[in-house]
Amino acid sequence: MPHPYLDIQPEVAQALARNQPVVALESTIIAHGMPYPQNVQTALRVEAEVRAHGAVPATIAVLNGRLKAGLTAAEIAELGQAGPKVVKASRRDLPMLVATRATGATTVAGTMIVAALAGIRVFATGGLGGVHRGAEQTMDISADLPELAQTPVAVVCAGAKSILDLALTLEYLETHGVPVLGFQTDVFPAFFTRDSGLPVDCRCDTPAQLAAILRARWGLGHGGVVVANPIPHALAMPRAVIDAATDQALAEARARGIVGKAVTPFLLARVNALTGGDSLAANIGLVLNNAALAAAIATALSPVA
């Protein structure tokens, strides 16, 4: 029975009905993660990357109060042009957006919820949200983490954003029983860099190995999985450069009193500026890399692929 608040794009609905591979994609990266027009160009490139690897893309958003699993190119362009004017939509925001018929760009958590409602099990993003630095005082913890504990979607990412406290992020995931799988790596990647110095729970060297663990996870219970896919070597940035830019951006955010949902977009924009635009190019490259892996995993999970 169709969900009363959900619209599934016809191509996506057909693929799901035929048990063909589908990959969910978030829309916060369109509205809040990159400047226009790179955001729209990147979103369309990511969809093309999913298709090139044999799966159907389903970009997720909330448009005029409707949960959308799959967007048209025109809808993606509309989100990109609106940019930060669009609500950044996580779990707590969805009921209000639906009831007021508003528009929102979904975060990792928001995308997971809509993907699960649509029956999509694999989702590609850039970097995972997590425990912010100083969370011992602020309690600033991304809603992405508790979502992973309860929603049965695999999130393919380049680790967690390097602006976060990565050790505490992994501690949180461990406490809530969320497996962290490394694709061809023994260490957790840190978004722009390949090595955070922290271990993953299990290394997998093929999409088939990842798919086997996902089937077991969902066969044993409920909840998500983190698939950590390091940024390609050619795009990886020196850890010292990113750490220095991050420290400066964090200091500026504190000085300006930036808190809550505004923190991550501000920090990413400042890190990009402080690195002379290099981090934006790396961001685009790692998202494309994650889309390709997600399509391979979705194909490995598909009974008809």
- Annotated catalytic residues are 26, 161
* Burial (CB count within 10 angstroms: exposed 0-12, middle 13-18, buried 19+), residue 186: exposed
Q: Report residue 131 as tokens.
A: 């425990």
Cα(291)–Cα(305) distance, integer angstroms = 17
Whether residue 287 contacts residue 29, with contact meaning beta carbons closer than 8 Å, is answered with: yes
Burial readout 46-84 (b: 16 or more C-beta within 10 A, e: otherwise): bbebbeebebbbbbbbbbeeebbbbbeeebbbbbbeebe
Residues 6+ apart with CB under 8 A from 218: 121, 152
DSSP annotation string for 134-193: THHHH--B-THHHHHHHS--EEEESBB-TTB-HHHHHHHHHHTT--EEEES-SB--BTTB
Cα(132)–Cα(204) distance, integer angstroms = 28
How far lies 127's CA from each of 26, 113, 190, in Å?
11, 17, 8
Q: Report residue 79 as tokens.
A: 């989100």
Whether residue 267 contacts residue 192, with contact meaning beta carbons closer than 8 Å, is answered with: no
Other beta carbons less than 10 A from residue 241's beta carbon: 17
Cα(294)–Cα(305) distance, integer angstroms = 14
